[in-house]
Structure formats: structure tokens, C-alpha cells
Chain A
Amino acid sequence: MIASRRQLLVGVLAGLAGFSALARAARAGGPGAVRLGSQPASLPDVMFSEAMTRDRILAAQLAAAGMRLDEHPFAKGREMVGQLAARTLDVALFGDMPTIMATLETDLAVVGLVKQTFSSVVGHHLRSMADLKGLKIAFAPGSTAHYTLMQGLHAAGLGADDVTLVPMEISEMPKALAEGRVAAFAAWEPAPAIALERDAKAILVHRGLNASFMVMRRQLVNDQPKAARAIAAAFLRAVNWMRMSGANLNRVAGWAVEAGLRFNAAADSPVTARQIAEITRRELLEVPAAPSIPARLFADGQVLHREFEFLKDHRIVPADSSWDRVKGSFAPGLMAGIIADGRSAGIDEYDYG
């Protein structure tokens, strides 16, 4: 009962936080604000938003353009899709599935690769995905983890009808698994790490590669090119700064913990700064060439195209959605230009405070 009340309270607070973010986004929707959507509960995405909001160089570059950066936290990337469409957000960091859905609804530019990492299926007493037949599995509908789960079931010769899918918040999944309310869940980090850390019976049975992107409204890129370039440069700067030293990485991880607590004050701290730093190192910093978007990623028949077809097959996006529209939203040139001329973009100068 206590757990239920806590879950209810967390849900209400999360809803209020999202609603508050929307309200603030609406209030900040003037011409001087660049509105950045962040996910305090998603790693390593939150590292960027926290570093960028503390980037004084970025603030100065935006101020020179008569603008400022406003951050708006969200529980899930999918919540930001509607805000981009409503023009109450200008920049967002989220996974590949929300990216596909957002590009179908709004004229966006996908400018950078935040990470290429795995969503995982974690469960109790499992040897393989085939053991999930007939069991309850928690998932976030329309998310990258949803796609990973269906891929894993398909590989084991199962379908959605062979299991019971239980929609659930990502943050609640480790606890639901530990309490036996579900036999497994599909989620991205840090939920799998939390479950494996805290639940001795938890075992990871399947993982699927996903990506996260930085997206901007096309209007911002076209109308405020300096601001867009400054934000992209700040993203690169943050990567470089965290790559420079473990101290920098740990510092940003601490900011991420604080952001998580701010966003969900009622919940226990789900993950430590050390875990956040480790995840960020493994999934982002040690990956060469990030955050450039490789052309292979959005080529026909490759992973994003397959995910797009998956969304269509499951009616998550309309059946007449165009892959060409998604593909045309990818704009790797902005980030490549900044990298090529990093000196002028100030990506090797750092001032966080």
C-alpha cells in the first residue's frame, strides 16, 4: 500500500512537473528564449542539458544574439514531441523513436548524435527471451525500449500476443520487477543498471542498440542560425570537456543527480554520480566521432528505417507516414561544419559555472 501511495505521489508530481514545464515553456515562448527540452531521468542525455545550462560561453553567445537558454525537463522524450509541434520547445534531446515521430509532426532538423547505446530487457529467472512467453512485461509504449522488446520477442519466435504488455513509467520498472508485479521490463539506462544493481534475481536477457539525437526546430536553424550554431557548439563543447578529464565528467554527473532530484524530489536517488559517469563514458565519450551523425544511420534499410517501419506496423505513427520526410530531417552538416571550424565556434574553450 505504501509503495502504491508512493507511486501515486511520484506520478502526480511527475505530471505536475511536466505540466509546470509546459506552462513555463509557454511563458518563455518569447523571441529572446531558446527553449531546451531535457530528460533528467535519461542518461547520458541529462549530462548535456545540465552542462549546456551551465555553459557561460553559450550564454554569452546567445546574449550577443539577444537570446537566452531556458531548460524544460520532461519525464519521457515522447512528451516533448507535442511541445515541438506546438512551438513551445525549440531544442530537444531524445531517443530515436521520439525523433522519428517528431520529424513526422514538425519541421525539424536532427543535428547531432547524443549517444548510441542499448535498451535492455531485464527479468527474473530468465535464460532467454523465449522464457517470457505468457508473462507480464513492463514497457513504455512507442519508445526505443518498446522497439527493442519487440525485436527480442521476435528473435525468440514470440509476438505481442504471446506475452502481456504492461505500460509503465521507466522510473517505476525496477521496483515493479523487484516486487514481482512484472516478470520483466524493457527500458533504457539507467533503469536496467538500477535493477541489476539492486535486485539480485534480475538478469539481462536481451539488449538492442538505440540512438539519441539533438533536434532543433527548423525555424530556429533558419531564422536564428547563430543561436543554433552556438547551441550545437555547446553540445560539442560539453562532449569535449567531459572527455578531457574524469573530474569534468564527475562534475557533470553530480549536476545530473541534482537535476534528477529536482525533477523527482519524492523519489529515492535512482543512480549514483559514479554510475552516471560510467554510463556516460561507456555510451558516449568512448565512442569515436560522436556526436557526428553517420550517414549509415539514416540510410534506407538501416536501423532507423527499420524502426520507422516498426512504428507504422504497430500504428504508433500513421500508416501513410513518409520515410523520406524522416530521412530529410537529418542535417549532419551543421555539426560537421562546427567540428571543421571548431576554433571559431569555441568548442575548445570551456567556462562552466
Chain B
Amino acid sequence: MVEDADGIRLSFRSRLILGFGALVVLTLAAVGAATLYGVPLLGTQGLVDEVVGNELNRLNVAADLKKATIETWLRERRANLLVLAGSASLQRIATGIGREETREILTETVRNYATGYDGLDAVMVLARDGTVLASAGDPVSLQASAARTALEQAFSPGNVESMAMVAGGGDEPLLIMCRQVFAPGIGTPIALVAATANPATVLTPLPGSRKWQGGSSEAYLITEDRLLLTPLRAHLQDGSTAQPMATRIETVAAHLAAEGNEGAQVLPDYRGIPALVAYRHLRLSPDLGWGMVLKTDQAEALAPLRQGMWHMALAGGIGLALFLAAAALLATAFTRPVRQLAAAAQRIRHGDFSARVGPQTLGEFQSLAKSFDGMAARIAEWHGELQRELDARTVDLRHERDRSRLYLDLAGVMLTVLRPDGSIAEINQEGARLLGADASRLGGADFFGFLAEDRREALRHDFEGVLAGPQGGIREWETQLTTEGGEHRTVVLHWVALRDGDGPAWGALASALDVTARQETQRQLAASEARYHTLVEALFEGVLLFDATPTVIACNEAALRIFDQSEPELIGRRLKDSPWRLVSDTGQPLTVDQLPAMTALQSRQPVRNVVIGIDRPSGRRTWTLVNAQPLFTPDDDQPQGVVASFVDITDQREGIDAQRRLTAELKRSNADLEQFSYAVSHDLQEPLRMVASFVQLLERRYAPIIDDDGREMIAFAVDGAQRMQKMITDLLEYSRVHRKGEPFAPLPVGEAVDAALFNLRAAIEESGARVSVGDMPTVTADRGQIIRLFQNILGNALKFRSPDRPPEVTVTAEPAEAGWNILVADNGIGIAPSDTGRLFGMFQRLHPRDRYPGSGVGLALCRRIVERHHGTITLHSPGEGQGTTIRFFLPDNPQEVPP
């Protein structure tokens, strides 16, 4: 035995001994098997077959001999019966003519017959009426009923010779042989000669014809119904004892023999034991046959062979032991130098490079030992060199490993080496950070334990598939992992099998990229996109997105509705392939280059509020208000596309057109009216002045002759003319607000207030009014008209003062969107709220003229001036006696509207 790092192994010497031993054993076994069973391929016969064949032949010979002996015995007995039946004395006695002495002769003849032949139990001569004429031996057996029946049948006509098997008086098997006796000239039998024999008696002498081996050989007879006729030497398979004429033998050999077959085979005998069997059929008569079986146990037949084999095995074993001993001695002697070499090699293997074999006596081994020692010395040198090289390489590898580790740790993704069972073998810093644990604690941890539970098994299955699959396969998964702190992270996971060459995978390299933030960004982006999409889709305004060609690449529902198109029809349509006739605001046809989208692309500038009409095939024109915005990428000044939005303004456009038409009509009407007012007021002044002048002249000239009534009527006429003149003047002024207004110019409102107060100074002094003016802005306005505006409003405050108190007027300004609100508040008589609505109408008055003179045009003129400046004017009063506040709005930059 040799023990080394690989365990205990057989030494060369042991193998040599065992090898030779096994060779000898196998050779002996093969020779033994071939000797016993032969070699089928070569057609050679083994000893077993030969012995069995010889035994079967011997059995066949014995069986044939037995059969011939029995047949001969039966033939002889039948011949004797024939002679006996043909004897003259018997015929005389049977016919009743014999004398007593003749009967004695017959009896003597029968006795001689019975005693002269072995195997016969009884012989008798029966008369036709059953009388025994002569007998010998033991006729008791013939007294059995079965025997009597057989004898009666033997008398039947034509049955000259017959045989029958019956059970005798003691139930023993009984063979009855009969021969009818005829008398000369008589056709029917006059008597019967019968002889009986026990089949066992018939069979008994026969074994002597052969030398039997051991105690298992035997022969037995059976009927055609396989009823046993002769005793058996052993019990049946069920342990019972076979009884002649009672036991039926059911072996294959018994069947074959009873059914008329003859042969020899190896078959189970009646004990169920393999036996060499010869079977024969004996035909005693057409309706009577026997089966005969001879057998020897196979074990007994092969016993000598088996004994010889044991002897051979014993001799072989002794020879083998001697051979092994000699082989051991020789192997020990021859392998000693080898073992010394092995010992030296073992020491060298364990690091003792000083080991040497030393000198040897045998020539070949001496040379081998020298070579080995030289080789050992050389190995020692190499070992030193290799050790130094190894140390250097170890340092390099350590540095290489540190650098690799650094690279791994610098990687922005998790990198981990997994063992086939999914445990972590190595992991970089990013991996440890991603798993929320220290890298030193993750070694050996189950990597799949960090993965989302619902996908863990699927991932593990895929991982195992990668390990078992072909080389080079990389799988990618996006999944969640849970850090040790319970935080959920989304990662993109890759793994690839690690193999040495084409060998099986010893692990896998897995990488995981944390995409949690990216996924959140994508989610927000998707939500934003959804919002924008919803927004765009919700817009009443149609939106088309063109690329740079420009071709429609996106649109919203409003666009489809406005163009009355489906999305497939609209998407992909080039602008130049527009199926509609497009016209400008003025109805002029537009070319592609004039369209806002193309203009925006070419000019790289937005295009705003372009009105475009779309003439549909139906003849209907849809007006749209179009805006176009070129789209740029941050690093390119060339537009990548353009987005065009448009609103269906057909209804508005039609409204504007109608409004324009109405405005123009109104302008024309106002102009006509102003012209008429101006003409009336201007042209009426002269006749009115003439009436007033002549009425005053009439008064002065004819004052003496005019009585008081006449003067009073003249005064009325003059007053009426003057009031009409005033009304005409005011009306003329009202009509001139638009017609004769000055161009707008920047105007400090405070200056206008001061100018108005100056014009009203007399009234102010007269009423004792106190007027306070706040900070006033500068607006763009018609200076004269604004002064007139303040003059009318302040004048009303003075005129409609409360009789109980001096008037107090406050002028203030409030900034408003795109302009100023100016407020003029007084403490005058006030106005009922229900009356404020009609005060800005022409010639509207709330009080009798005799109490507050005036034409009723003042506030109407104020409103007209404010409206010319695109402002508004209102009047507020808490109620009568509570003062009034007039508020008007002046825009910063009113657009001059041409008259």
C-alpha cells in the first residue's frame, strides 16, 4: 500500500502481484467455464453437455431395452396363451367331452405354464358359463368386479385376443391377458384362457439390465390416463406417497409417454427436481397402452463432474497461492529500486529537494539512479529559480489584483461575482453601496435575497439557465432590489456565465446599474408628456407640428376638427401638398412660401396672428388665425421643425366684418349727423341772432308805445331766442368734439384743472367754494377738450351747490390699468340714484330752469370728450343732498380715431 495526498493506493508491487493473480484466476475461470459449458462460437461442447448427452443416451438405451424386454415378455406370454388355447385337451374339456384325466392333464399344463414363466400371478381357463375349468397361481385377483367385467368382455365375438388393465381385489394394478378358445367347426369361443400379471412384476427385472448410479434412478409405468402402475421410490412434490391405480402423474414426461411420444430430455420429475428423463410408449393393444418413464436426477448425473471440478478448483487454488507467493517475492526484489526511487520522489514532492537515491547494484537501476539524482539536483536549482520568479509574480499579481479591485470600485455600476448557488463571492464598492451593506459582510450572502421577492425565483431560474446554457450568453433584467436598510432600488441587471475554457460555468459576473433616478425622471417625463398631450388635445386651438421639410408629424384633435381630416390623412402630409386653397386676410391666394409655417422656418422667426382663409372643396371658407413658431435644438440654429397653431375664427371674422360694416355705416351716419348738426346749429345762429336783435331793436325803438304786456312778451321772445342761441352753441360745440378736436398730445392733467379753475374763478369767488386738487398725472389728450371737461364738471359742482354750505370740491387721480381714474367730488345737492343713468343724455335736466339755468348739454359733452379719448365716465351720488362724485378714466395712450 502507498499513502499519499490522493489517499491510499496500491503499490506497483501489489498491483503486479494482484494483476498476475487476477490473470491466473480469470484464466482458470475461463478454462473451467469452457471445459464445463463449451464455447458456443467455436461449436465446442462442454463437459456438462457431454455428461448430460451421455446420460440421456444411456437412458435412451435403457428405455429401449426395457421397452423391448416388456414387449418380448408380453409377446411370449401371448404366444403361450395362444398355445394353451390351441391345445386339444382344452378344446375337448371345453366342449364337455373331456374326461377327468384330461382335466388333470389340462390342470397340469396350466400349472406348468404359470410356474414356468416369471411375472404371472395366475392362469386359468374359464368355460363359457364362467366355470373355472383349470387354474394355477393366485386367482384371487380375478374375483374383483372390474376383472370379471374384463373377462366377460373378452368373450365378446371377434375379440379373439384382448388385454385389459384393472384394479385387482387389493386395488393393485392388474394386467389381464385373454385368448378365446375355439373348437373345430364352432364359430363362437367355447372357453377363455386368461393370465394376470402385476405391472410392477413385469418391470422389476428390468433395472438389472443397466448399472444404475446412486439412488435417484428409477423407472415407472403409467396408463394412457397417467395412472401410476408401479410404485415410486420417493414422495411426490407435495410430500404425499403415490399409490398405484390411484395416483395420476402429471409431469411433462408422463404426459408425453402416455400420449404416445418417445424421447429423452432434461425435465422436472414428479418431485419437481430437474432430471434426465427418457419416456417411452408401449402399445399393448389398440385400446391399451402404457407409458414408461426412466429418470435420473440431473444433480446425481453431474455429481462426478462436480466433484472433479472441486478437485480442480482446489488444485487451482493451491497453485494460485504458490504462484502469488512466488510473484510476491519476485515483485519485491524487482521493485526495490523503484520503491527507493518512489521514496526519493515522494520526499522531493514534499519539498525535500535534497533527497537522492544513491548508488545501486543493478546496472540498469544504477544508471536510472544516477539520472534520477541528476534530475533531482536540477529540479532543486529550478525550484530555487521558480520560487524567486514566483515571489516576483506574486507581488505583481497582488498589485494587479489591487488595481483590478480599484477599477471595480471605480465603476459606477455594481459588479459582483456570484457562485453557482447564487451566493456573492466578490462585490465592488458600488455594489456594496447599492445593497446598503459593507462589502466585507456581503461575501457569501445570497444575492437573490436582495432581489424583489415576486421575481426572485424567475431570476434565479434564469441565472441557472445562463450557467447551464451555451457560452457567451448575457441576460438583462430590470428589477427591484431591497437594500439592507429596506430601501427599494430599481436596477438593470446583467449576468454572464464565467467559465474556464469550454468547461462548465463556475460562477457568473453580475452587474447592476441603479436606474431609480432615471426611472423617476422617465416617469415624470411621461407624466409631463401626458399632461402636455392632454393640454394640447384639450386646446380649442388647433396645433400642427411640422418637421423641417415641412411635413406634418403630429397634430391634436382640434386640428383634425378644423381641417375635417382624420389623423392618418393629416400625418405625413407635406405642406406643399396641401389639398386646400389658402387665401390671405384679404382673400388673395397664398403660395407655400407665404404660409406662416414656411415663413417661420425660412425666417427662423415666429409668425403671429396671420389670418388665413381655407377654401374647402365645398366652397365654404374657414378663417383661421395662425401663429407659427420655429423649433430649435439647443446646439443648432437651424430650425428642426415648426409648430403652427391656429384658431377657427370664421365666426369672429364674420362678426368683425359685420361690425366693420356697421361701424362704417355708423361713422357715415354720425358724420352726416354731425354735418347736419353743425349745419343746423351754425346756420340757425344767424336767423336767431337776427330775431333776437330785431326784437331788442323793436323794444328799444318802440318802448314808449309798448305797454307792459308788450314788453313782457318781447322779454319772453328775447329770452327764448337767447336760450335757443345757447342751446345751438352748446350743440355746435358738442358736434365739434370729433370734428374740430385737436390732435392728442402729452398733457399734465393738473394744468388742465388749473386752466378750468381759472375760467371759473368768478363763480368760485361768488360761491365761496373751496377747491382742492391732488397730484395729477400726465396723459395723452386734447388739451382744449380736457380743460372743457374739467370746466363743465367743476362748473356743475359750483352750480348745484347746497344752499346750506359753501361748495367744497376735491379733484384727485388714481392710477388704473393703462391709464388714470380722475375723481371730482363735491358736497352739492346730490342726485337721486335713480336719476344718475340719464344725466349724460342730450338736453337732460333734473331741475327747473329757473332754479338752475342751463341747456342740459354739459354732461353729454363731457361724456363725448371722454369717449373720444377712449375713456369712460360715471356719476355717483349717495342721494339727494349728499354730494356727487364724477369719475372718468383717461388711458395713457389713446389711439386717435379718425372722424
Binding site for B on A (CB under 8 A): 113, 116, 118, 127-130, 148, 151-152, 155-156, 205-210, 286-290, 292-297, 303, 306, 336, 338-343
Contacts and interface: CB of A to CB of B under 8 A. Distances in A.
Nearest to A282: B71
A303 B262 CA distance: 15
Is the contact region of chain A dominated by helix, strand, or loop, or is it mixed?
Answer: mixed
Contacts of A207: 261-263, 281
A293 B71 CA distance: 21
From B266, B285, B286, residue with most partner A Cβ within 10 Å: B286
A342 B283 contact: no
B157 interface: yes
B52 interface: yes
A297 B75 contact: no
Given A118-B262, A339-B157, A155 B252 contact: yes
B221 to A, nearest CB: 16
Nearest to A113: B286
B341 interface: no
Nearest to A205: B263
From A210, A287, A338, residue with most partner B Cβ within 10 Å: A287
Given A127-B52, A127-B57, A342-B187, A152 B263 contact: yes
Interface stretch (B95-103, B158-166, B411-419): B158-166
Interface in B627-678: none
Contacts of A128: 56, 263-266
B286 A289 contact: yes
Nearest to A291: B286
B152 to A, nearest CB: 16
B426 interface: no
A208 B286 contact: no
B262 A289 contact: no
Nearest 10 Cβ contacts at the A-B interface: A209-B260, A339-B158, A294-B287, A340-B157, A207-B262, A206-B263, A127-B53, A288-B285, A288-B161, A294-B286
A297 to B, nearest CB: 7
Interface of B: 49, 52-53, 56-57, 71, 75, 78, 157-163, 187, 224, 252, 256, 259-266, 281, 283-287, 289
B285 A287 contact: yes
Contact of A292 (B53, B158, B256): B158
Is the contact region of chain B dominated by helix, strand, or loop, or is it mixed?
Answer: mixed
A195 to B, nearest CB: 16
Contacts of B281: 118, 207, 209
B261 A290 contact: no
Contacts of A148: 261
Contacts of B157: 336, 339-341
A148 B157 CA distance: 35
Nearest to B252: A155
Given A206-B262, A208-B261, A208-B262, 12 more contacts: A152-B263, A205-B264, A209-B260, A288-B78, A288-B286, A289-B159, A289-B160, A289-B162, A289-B286, A297-B286, A336-B158, A339-B158
Contacts of A129: 263, 265
B287 A296 contact: yes
Contacts of B286: 113, 116, 287-290, 292-294, 297
B158 A127 contact: no
Contacts of A205: 263-264
A268 to B, nearest CB: 28
B52 A342 contact: no
A265 to B, nearest CB: 35
B158 A340 contact: yes
Given A155-B252, A155-B265, A156-B265, A341 B187 contact: yes
Contacts of A116: 283, 286
B281 to A, nearest CB: 6
A156 to B, nearest CB: 6
From A151, A152, A288, A289, residue with most partner B Cβ within 10 Å: A288
A339 B78 CA distance: 20
25 contacts: A116-B283, A118-B260, A127-B49, A127-B264, A128-B56, A128-B263, A128-B265, A130-B266, A155-B265, A207-B262, A209-B259, A287-B286, A288-B163, A288-B284, A288-B285, A289-B159, A289-B162, A292-B158, A292-B159, A293-B286, A294-B286, A296-B224, A336-B157, A339-B157, A340-B157
Contacts of B260: 118, 208-210, 303
A341 B186 CA distance: 11
Contact of B75 (A156, A286, A340): A286
Nearest to A129: B263
